[in-house]
Amino acid sequence: MVLTGAGLSTDSGIPDYRGPDAPARTPMTFQEFVAGPEAHQRYWARSHLGWARMGHAVPNAGHRAVAALGADLVITQNVDGLHEAAGTPRLVALHGRVADVVCLSCGSTTARTALQDRLEQANPGWAARHADVANRPDGDVALEDTAGFVVPPCEGCGGPLKPDVVFFGENVPKARVERCYAAVESLAATGGTLLVAGSSLTVMSGLRFVRRATQRDVPVVIVNRGPTRGDALATHLVSEGTSDWLPALAAVRTA
């Protein structure tokens, strides 16, 4: 089983969260997002710019290697959709996908590309006026002044729209967690290994699977540049970049 984090996508041009060059971040929490229209405006104004840039990202050698490994399950904490683009089979996007949008009133889901077109029509020239702001790991940008940005509502019911991702302060859907735990139990039964790639394991949503693996005597290999919260639980630590190390592993596995 493979568990991936933001470090896997840095070579695709998406900044990570906690690497040595990572920008400071104050991600919007779920409680902040649902507080009202001003929070929606602030989020979507930033996301509109970030999505336009993230949409050009393509899978790197690390993503392609993970797809080629043939793991029983790949769990990604990333929301960028690059594992999907690489054709990764048996994938759980633990925190959802920023390419999907959900209505908080009626629960309907739509494609982010469709909302992007609506945002562009409602806010002509917004991207050009803010072309110099820096990207951030969450698929948005470092923009403070979001006054005047128009956020279209759900076309079906007029309710507020939210990216179909798990915000801080929001729980990962139970079914996803249970599927991942079941995969760890399968590793224990079959003598498998858990490979962690490009994650600092700082948040519990990913670390809990490493903890469960060690409780079941499943070997844990962590590949990451820099320390992680799971280092003390690892059987092996590899301090290398995922875009270099994972293709080498895949070549050995498929030889």
Nearest-5° Cα angle at 60, 56 to 65: 145
Q: Is 135 exposed, middle or buried (0-12, 13-18, 19+ CB in 10 A)?
A: middle
| Rounded Cα–Cα distance for residues 165 and 101 (Å) | 8
Tokens of residue 227, six digits = 């320390």
40 catalytic, yes or no? no
* C-beta neighbour count of 31 within 10 angstroms: 12
* C-beta neighbour count of 129 within 10 angstroms: 11
Q: Which residue in the list 40, 95, 130, 236 is annotated as catalytic?
A: 95
| Rounded Cα–Cα distance for residues 118 and 234 (Å) | 46
Residues annotated as part of the active site:
95
